[in-house]
Amino acid sequence: MKAEELPSAGGPAPEPAPDRLEAPAPTAWPMALALGITLVFAGLVTNMSVTAVGIVIALAAAVGWWRQVLPVEQVEWMPLRPVALRARPIVPSRAGVQRFRPGEAGHRLRIPVQVPPMSSGVRGGIAGGIAMAVVALGYGLIVQGSLWYPVNLLSAVAMPGMAQADVAQLRAWSGAALVLGIIAHGLISVLVGLLYATILPMLPQRHMLWGGLVAPLLWSGLLSALLGVINPVLNQRVDWIWFVASQIAFGLAAGYVVSRARPVATEQTAPIGGAPTGRAPRATR
């Protein structure tokens, strides 16, 4: 059965009938407007002719979409099934369910109820950073024959000259690269450890699986894709198999420390209008 469309302009709309439902008329103008806006911004990084085409499409789509609703909104009347063929009304169930206990002052409970302390994130980041450094230094010693290769490679993030250095230079000692590498590695490790302490309680159980395997694989894939665009030369110097192994070592160590920490209760929503550390005043009639 086909829907009856309301004329685009002129004439009053038909009165709603029990067997029909009013719905907006279908239109493709919103998609055309989105395409035009996309081309406008795409032309900023490609060619101005693309921006010009996008402006034309966006203006045409805006006018077309405007005419769909003014001066008379275009709608269509969708036929409803006969009463005998419609779904039966939902019958409420009397089965009991387990309910959460309300939070402070009867407010809605926040999940998770307990989280690891932020200090566990710092400790986890330090432990993960040490585990990651052991794997990275093992790679430098076994594969490159130099402990300084991974350190110099890490310092290339802040020292552009190291990104262009040859293999011999990356294997050589550099005091500045060592200092920058230690600072960068320490800060990133602590920040990621704090991130673990924040996110892991929100994930399902098996925190070691999430923190030790899933997160390192996702992070390594994202970093590999970004580094190939930002710095292709540095991307070619990274041994991604060893890189993933070092990330997994970090995740296992940090995840273990965070998951073994004694959780603390989260602060529930304070009463509206009450003091931060006091009770809300009773309402008076």
How would DSSP label each residue in 253-264?
HHHHHHHHSPPE
User: Which of 63-67, 99-103, 139-143, 155-159 shows the lowest per-residue confidence on average (mean pLDDT)?
Assistant: 99-103
pLDDT surpassing 60 at residue 150: yes
Give me the pLDDT at residue 282, please: 42
Give me the pLDDT at residue 106, please: 65
User: Which of 11-20, 40-49, 247-256, 263-272 shows the lowest per-residue confidence on average (mean pLDDT)?
Assistant: 11-20
- Binning pLDDT at 50, 70 and 90, where does residue 53 land? very high
Longest dimension (CA), the chain: 86
SS3 280: coil
- Tell me the average pLDDT across 251-279: 70
Work out the mean pLDDT of the chain and round it to a whole number. Answer: 78
Q: Whole-angstrom Cα distance, residue 100 to residue 114?
A: 14
- Binning pLDDT at 50, 70 and 90, where does residue 14 land? low
Q: Whole-angstrom Cα distance, residue 189 to residue 250?
A: 8
pLDDT surpassing 60 at residue 277: no
Question: Where is pLDDT greater, at 249 or 280?
Answer: 249
- Binning pLDDT at 50, 70 and 90, where does residue 32 land? very high
pLDDT surpassing 70 at residue 274: no
Question: Tokens representing 193?
Answer: 């450890």
Q: Of 20-34, 121-135, 198-212, give the range with the top mean pLDDT.
A: 121-135
Give DSSP secondary structure letters for 206-258: -HHHIIIIIHHHHHHHHHHHHHHHH-HHHHHH--HHHHHHHHHHHHHHHHHHH
Give me the pLDDT at residue 241, please: 87
Q: Whole-angstrom Cα distance, residue 99 to residue 105?
A: 17
- Tell me the average pLDDT across 76-95: 80
pLDDT surpassing 60 at residue 2: no
Chain segment 198-253, per-residue pLDDT in tens: 888 777 767 777 777 888 888 888 887 777 776 676 677 788 888 888 888 988 88
Q: Whole-angstrom Cα distance, residue 101 to residue 86?
A: 39
Residue ranges and CATH numbers for the domains of the chain are: 17-81 (1.10.287), 114-265 (no CATH)
pLDDT surpassing 50 at residue 7: no
Backbone angles phi, psi at 77, to 5 degrees: -105, 115
Backbone angles phi, psi at 136, to 5 degrees: -65, -40
Percent of the chain with pLDDT over 90: 11
